[in-house]
């Protein structure tokens, strides 16, 4: 099954000719950012004209972005591409397969729903929408012991303060 998968997030502009830094969110950087590859943002499609690495930072240039002002306007944009969102490891999940799942406690009590996944350098965070607002849950086995993609259900151990406010002891 083919679907849109996230491949990177645009950082700051680099130089005057429209290059941008990109935080890759794919293991296939050479393929996803090859000359001629097409990625999309919420607003438009962008054609890659080249990429390079500078001190461990991915620099990408696009056909539709020719100056620093245009590059700065892309800052923070998520880059998506056509692909097969299959996990590469047994305990990895595609974001799109998780988003929309119900979040429940181990006893089955409804806690909320998963609205997004944030990929941070230390660990991934699940964004769970609860009655009291969006909460971030570290995607680690101690807090998320079970993910059932078929049932679209994620079990979260609701430790105090994770999904609700905790009263001060004062």
- The tens digit of pLDDT for each residue in 98-157 reads 888 999 999 999 999 998 888 777 788 899 999 888 999 999 999 999 999 889 999 999
SS3 state of residue 117 = strand
**Does the pLDDT of residue 170 top 70, yes or no?**
no
Token duo for residue 123? 């660990």
Structure-derived torsion over alpha carbons of residues 136, 107, 100, 87, reported in degrees to the nearest 10: 80
* Residue 136: per-residue pLDDT: 92
More confident residue, 166 or 22: 22
Q: Within the chain, which residue ranges are assigned CATH 2.30.30.240? A: 95-155
Q: Within the chain, which residue ranges are assigned CATH 2.40.30.60? A: 3-83
Domain 3-83 fold is: Elongation Factor Tu (Ef-tu); domain 3 (2.40.30)
Report the distance separating Cα 108 and Cα 59, nearest Å.
Answer: 46
Question: Between β-strands 19-24 and 57-62, what pairing exists: parallel, antiparallel or unpaired?
Answer: antiparallel
Q: Which residue has tokens 């680099």?
A: 14
SS3 state of residue 55 = coil
Report the distance separating Cα 137 and Cα 118, nearest Å.
Answer: 10
Give 39-48 pLDDT, tens digit per residue. 999 888 999 9
* Residue 31: per-residue pLDDT: 85
**Does the pLDDT of residue 168 top 70, yes or no?**
no
Question: Between β-strands 102-104 and 153-155, what pairing exists: parallel, antiparallel or unpaired?
Answer: parallel
> Please, what sign has the CA dihedral across residues 78, 34, 51, 46?
negative
* Residue 1: per-residue pLDDT: 42
**Does the pLDDT of residue 59 top 50, yes or no?**
yes
Architecture of domain 95-155: Roll (2.30)
**Does the pLDDT of residue 20 top 90, yes or no?**
yes
Q: Compute the average pLDDT of residues 68-85.
A: 86
């Amino acid at each position: 099954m083919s679907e849109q998968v996230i491949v990177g997030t645009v950082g700051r502009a680099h130089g005057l000719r429209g290059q941008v830094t990109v935080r890759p969110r794919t293991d296939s950087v050479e393929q996803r950012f090859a000359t001629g590859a097409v990625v999309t943002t919420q607003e438009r499609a962008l054609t890659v004209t080249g990429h390079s690495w500078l001190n461990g930072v991915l620099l990408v240039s696009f056909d539709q972005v020719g100056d620093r002002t245009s590059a700065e306007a892309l800052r923070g944009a998520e880059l998506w591409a056509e692909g097969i969102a299959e996990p590469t490891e047994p305990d990895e999940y595609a974001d799109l397969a998780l988003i929309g799942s119900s979040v429940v406690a181990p006893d089955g009590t409804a806690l909320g729903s998963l609205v997004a996944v944030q990929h941070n350098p230390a660990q991934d965070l699940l964004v769970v929408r609860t009655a009291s607002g969006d909460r971030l849950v570290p995607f680690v086995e101690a807090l998320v012991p079970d993910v059932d993609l078929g049932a679209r259900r994620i079990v979260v151990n609701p430790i105090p303060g994770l999904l609700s406010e905790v009263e001060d002891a004062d």
